[in-house]
Amino acid sequence: MTKAVVTVMLKQGVLDPQGKAIGHALHGLGFEGVGEVRMGKRIELELAEADPAKARALAEDMARKLLANTVIESFKVEVA
């Protein structure tokens, strides 16, 4: 078993209303030192593939086909 973590974030320049709402709420709670906030998602996958390079390629394929909307989102894959 290999564990892969896919992190998906909106690309720079794409409006992030959730990030803005979180930033506004943090300021409302007195956290004045917070600049721009971006919201993303983390997906953890347990893969049957034992070879780390093949597991990374598999997770990247999954991200391109389903986990990320590559028009507006970018992703990175970490394999442990």
Reported as a single tens digit per residue, the pLDDT across 59-78 is 999 999 999 999 999 999 99
**Domain total for the chain?**
1
Query: What pLDDT is recorded for position 31?
Result: 97
List the CATH number of the domain containing 68.
Answer: 3.30.1280.10
Q: Write out the residue range of the structural domain in which residue 20 sits.
A: 2-79
Query: What pLDDT is recorded for position 51?
Result: 97
- Mean pLDDT, residues 9-21 taken together: 97
Reported as a single tens digit per residue, the pLDDT across 25-42 is 999 999 999 999 999 999
Query: Maximum Cα–Cα distance for the chain, whole Å?
Result: 47
- Give the HSE-up count for residue 27: Cα atoms under 13 Å, Cβ half-sphere: 10
- Mean pLDDT, residues 29-58 taken together: 97
Query: What pLDDT is recorded for position 7?
Result: 98
